[in-house]
A and B are shown apart, each in its own frame.
Chain A
Amino acid sequence: MNAPYEIPHEIARIERAFHCLRPGLEELQDEFASALLRFGFDEAATFAIRLAIEEAVVNAFRHGNKSDETKRVHFRSRISADRIDIDVTDEGAGFNPNAVPDPTREENLEIPSGRGVMLMKAYMTEVEYLAPGNHLRMSYVRPISR
């Protein structure tokens, strides 16, 4: 579905530094959804990016900052007509993303946690953790329309 008006050529930047998760995350999600609509991203992209932002910021708070509200989660993003780049950084010690067990293995299927990183990787074009593992960088590239 195309936006009913011309897609902007400029770049939008949305940045935040959070001490607590709610309602800041909902406000960020609403602002992001408005920007995605303005740049003509479709429902599938909006669903994917909303999910990835949710997982990234919640992980940064819960696992990175250990829910310590004296620490902050830093969110930076750059939105253009063809791609979205997002950086989420926490003030924790970092972690080794390769050490997270594969939640889709038969023996792990019933474990209630550990699916956030997998979902981000499934829905975004690129996802990487920068050393020491407290800086998530992810991007969504708009599929080329045929």
Chain B
Amino acid sequence: MPLSLLNIRRHDGYTRVEFVEKNILDEGNLHQIEQEIRTAIETEASPRVLICFKNVEHMSSAALGTLLALKDSIEKKSGELRLSDIDRRIYEMFVITKLNRLFSIHDSVEQAASSFTKK
């Protein structure tokens, strides 16, 4: 089994995901990242997932596609996805593609965590 590309930790009420690599580009890596996140939340009825982009320097349109696929899966289970700590140049990619309107994006992990719907 390949080395994990993510740090995934359970927090109080949500799953926090951080990237090991600074470049999220390669489709093979993206497939692995998607599978690792899906495995981490597969037993949860309504998963709450926070993906932190700290240290991520480069992304591609393929990575945006992976995030959209994950968002779709999470929301189909009535879960919630939050993104945080996105570098300003990468955030510009979200703005150009208008995906900033689709994702819930926050400056910090703390802000993202507090934005989950209260149960």
Identify the A interface with B (CB < 8 A).
22, 43-44, 47, 50-51, 54-55, 58, 62, 103-104, 109-116, 118-119, 122
Contact = CB atoms under 8 A, between A and B. Distances in A.
B58 A47 contact: yes
A-B residue pairs, 10 tightest by C-beta: A112-B65, A115-B61, A116-B61, A104-B98, A112-B68, A122-B96, A47-B89, A54-B60, A115-B97, A112-B69
Contacts of B102: 109-110
Contacts of A58: 27, 60, 62
Contacts of B98: 104, 109
B107 interface: no
A55 B58 contact: no
B65 A113 contact: yes
A58 B58 CA distance: 15
Contacts of B93: 51, 119
Contacts of B5: none
A22 B98 CA distance: 29
Given A47-B58, A54-B60, A58-B60, A109 B101 contact: yes
B72 interface: yes
Given A51-B58, A55-B60, 15 more contacts: A44-B89, A47-B89, A51-B60, A54-B60, A58-B60, A58-B62, A104-B98, A109-B98, A109-B101, A110-B68, A110-B72, A112-B69, A118-B61, A119-B93, A122-B96
Interface residues of B, number: 22
Given A47-B58, A51-B60, A55-B60, A109 B65 contact: no
Interface of B: 25-28, 58, 60-62, 64-66, 68-69, 72, 89, 93, 96-99, 101-102
